[in-house]
Structure 1
Amino acid sequence: MSVKDKRRGRPKGTSNQLNEQSIMDVAKALMKEEGKIPSIRKLAASLGVDAMAIYHYFNNKNALLEAITTSLIEDIYDPKVGEDWKAELKTLCESYILVLHQYPGLLEILLSMESHGPADVFTERFNVVVQPLDLNAIAATNALSLLADYLHGFALALNCNRELQSLDISMLKGPLDLYCVALENA
């Protein structure tokens, strides 16, 4: 393809408008397919634009990664205030594991990010769930850290065993039940 054949900049017309959301949607679809964040060039090719057009919307690849990751984490279950906290916690955890499983590579991105945006989303939702327990700040922080570490370990094991049927999301129930007992007695 010659330089003249390339489509530079934002697409013209209303049928294929390039914007932050369309870029993130295509990036998430590619990530789900390939198990990793696509390169800027691959993303641009999928969108039918020059790679530099993406930088019109995102300052750099890290800004794009943060936007994608935060968007995916915002898709997890949003707990209801005043509901059965144990059921809400289990639903939140299952939802989080499902997102981490559907988007292989997301966990590694989350753990390597300098930004706390995605972690803040999960933290806020966790705090809504445990609010009825009236945990002090130290207990709440420890409870969140323990749960996050467990969920990340579970997601890693689940993603490493994609072909094996021996590990599935239903196996969260027992450990989460034990975790809930510990929270009640904190």
Structure 2
Amino acid sequence: MLKEKPALSVQRIVESAMTIADQAGLDALSMRKIAKSLNVEAMSLYNYLQNKELLLDAMVEAVVAKIDLPDPALPWKMEMMNRCSSAYQVLKTHPWAAHLLMARLNVGPAMLRYVDASHGCLLLAGFSHKDADLARNLLDSYIYGFTLQELTFPIEPDDYASTAAEFQPQLDSSVYPHLTALATEVASGRYHGKLQLEFGLELLLGALESKLKS
């Protein structure tokens, strides 16, 4: 007996689109490829999502829905740290998502919950609406920028030491003394040179806490 095909739905279309984008990037995404992955005709997708713009919005919504929301009943610094760390992990899993989050105006339910919970957490901590909004945008800018830099950096973290060792002889220590010393630290293994999300988050949240107390 033949198995009945799963019913087509927005969720299945979005999940398929995200899988394609995760594997090959947004440029590889098309309704035709999504339809092929679902074993349906491309035109049938338009009964659920009328154009690619709506599809991209739905993909952003699905990504944001995966990010942990801050719990207002718990300490705000810890919760904002967890929220930012969760956003980073989700965006790394979907390398195309950070750009879409920055480039599109999204007002779907998941995004609204995400912003509302984050803003509310900062308000309950004692920030004004203005400062809470500025703080949230500051943290998001850091997360998006950090993630994009890590995803697009041309050297793999495990290759930093060997790359520094290759680069070091090209440096004139009399002209670039500080950069030469840094390359020596990385090449020797005394400093790994890897980007550290928590370092920046701790500085930002510490500065926000100081502002709150001032």
TM beyond 0.5: yes
Q: Which residue in 1 is equivalent to 2:151?
A: 159
Q: Aligned partners of 1:132 and 1:185: how far apart in 2? A: 16
Structure 1 residues 178 and 70, CA gap change in structure 2 (3 angstroms): same
Q: Which residue in 1 is equivalent to 2:199?
A: 174
* Structure 1 position 172, deviation (Å): 1.7
Residue 102 in structure 1 maps to residue 93 in structure 2:
yes
One-letter amino acid matched to 2:25: G
Q: Aligned partners of 1:141 and 1:17: how far apart in 2? A: 42
Q: Which residue in 2 is equivalent to 1:4?
A: none
Residue among 23, 26, 43 paired with 2:13: 23
Structure 1 residues 93 and 46, CA gap change in structure 2 (3 angstroms): same
One-letter amino acid matched to 2:15: D
* Structure 1 position 54, deviation (Å): 0.7
Residue among 52, 64, 88 paired with 2:43: 52
Structure 1 residues 116 and 163, CA gap change in structure 2 (3 angstroms): farther
CA contact (8 A) 2:22 2:96 kept: no
Unaligned runs of 5+ in 1: 1-12
User: Could you tell me the TM-score, scaled by structure 2's length?
Assistant: 0.73
Q: Which residue in 1 is equivalent to 2:175?
A: none
Q: Which residue in 2 is equivalent to 1:142?
A: 134
- Highest RCO, 1 vs 2 (Cα 8 Å, sep ≥ 6): 1
CA contact (8 A) 1:82 1:132 kept: no
Q: Aligned partners of 1:14 and 1:125: how far apart in 2? A: 41
* Structure 1 position 20, deviation (Å): 0.9
**Any idea what SS the aligned residue of 1:185 has?**
helix
One-letter amino acid matched to 1:39: S
User: Could you tell me the TM-score, scaled by structure 1's length?
Assistant: 0.83
Unaligned runs of 5+ in 2: 158-192
Please provide the CA RMSD for this pair.
2.2
**Any idea what SS the aligned residue of 1:42 has?**
helix
CA contact (8 A) 2:69 2:114 kept: no
CA contact (8 A) 2:123 2:129 kept: no
One-letter amino acid matched to 2:68: Y
Q: Aligned partners of 2:83 and 2:107: how far apart in 1? A: 19
